[in-house]
Structure 1
Amino acid sequence: MQAYQESSIYMNRSDEERANSSVGLRLDYWKLAWAMGKERPWLGWGDEYTQEKQRRVAAGEAHPRVLELGHAHNEFLDMFSKRGLIGVGALLLFYGVPMALFWPSKRRCNGGRDAIDRDALALCFVGLSIPVLYLGFGWTQVFFAHNSGNLFYLLMISIVYAALQIYAGDHDSTKK
């Protein structure tokens, strides 16, 4: 309900009042990030990002509160404005490769047998949930802008993938 109210305020108020809420600030930042990304779509603004953001705020193109934040609170828009479509492609690989590694295929989930191995399937779903959840959370937060976000993502992917490989090796029916 609060998100709806803050969105309504953003749409119906003056520019000065728009970013006075969490939702309003995000929407203003998303608008800025989209505009910046469209201006340099392939490589983004890179090292010039902060200066360009400051210039746009000074020109009245964005609310001054966006200067308080280091990222756009949206993983894709942040990457688009800073690193362009090439960065967005890399981000999609960062999500897509683990999704492909954990996708519950017959080879991963039945070990050559007719029945599905529920433990292997569970490990696949745990592994698949990591990039899926990061992808979902990334719509309103930029986890990869923080060391802890990167570390947790890579560590959990590695641990679950190792567990899946060890489990699959221990239960490979061709070895028995």
Structure 2
Amino acid sequence: MGFCLFNNAAVAARYIQQKHKLAKVLIIDWDVHHGNGTQAIFYDDPTVFYFGVHQSPFYPGTGSAEEKGVGQGLNYTLNVPLPAGTGDLKYREVFEKTLKPAAIAFKPDFVLISAGFDAHEDDPLGGMNVTAEGFAELTRIVKGIAGQCCKGRLVSILEGGYDLDGLAASVEAHIRVLEHETDRQEK
């Protein structure tokens, strides 16, 4: 299931819960591929909210908006499948109008980003049109959520990205926001 042998976001979420006694973790996955493994691990768990925005239709063929969790985990999975060609404006809208209210209602104690940059406009595997500055804006929104909900507790986990120039520019923009916009966010 998925592209990875070990699921870094899932391991991190459980570590945060068990070692640091932070009960509720929000995982935000913006990789071009649906995070089917992460979703499956937490599908019945109300302590981890999984938010995935991804290209659809696309591999692995999962992540429909109707996939919302089961049992106690019902409504703790939120997928936003987007068509190929989607770019910065629509991603920002999804993060502002869909992710933000859901995250605030969940009230996480910690935020994890599955930061796949293969939705970049130059990536050869995906078909999305997110720019490096688009990723910076998504980072600002997520950082604002973490600031509002959980004292800024946020970790970003590098996932996919297959165009090295696009990946480098996106990671640089992402880290720039995480590192240099801290004071502005917290004041």
Normalized against structure 2, the TM-score is what? 0.24
Normalized against structure 1, the TM-score is what? 0.25
Structure number with bigger Rg: 1
- As a proportion of its length, which structure holds more helix? 1
- As a proportion of its length, which structure holds more strand? 2
